Amino acid sequence: MNFSSFAVLAIGILVLGLIIALILHLFSPEARIERRRRRNNYPVASRGKRPMVKFSVRTKKDDR
């Protein structure tokens, strides 16, 4: 094995290790909690001119 093939192999292993580390970090429980925290703490930006309250009311169904 000459030096150039060893260098390519070493760089490939390094890149593969970085990709695996990034994937493991993105799917870790801590990252999931951080994404949920950021999503829930964003300011609400709404441009609608209608009322912003939506009521969940259970009504009787018509027997037609």
In the chain, domain spans:
3-39
CA atoms of 60 and 29, how far apart (whole Å): 43
Q: How much is the CA Rg of the chain, to the nearest whole Å? A: 26
This model's pTM is above 0.75: no
Point out the least confidently predicted range of 6-10, 15-19, 38-42: 38-42
Q: Within 10 A of 53 (CB to CB), how many other CB atoms are there? A: 5
More confident residue, 38 or 3: 38
| Span 21-62, pLDDT tens digits | 999 998 999 988 888 888 877 776 666 666 666 667 777 776
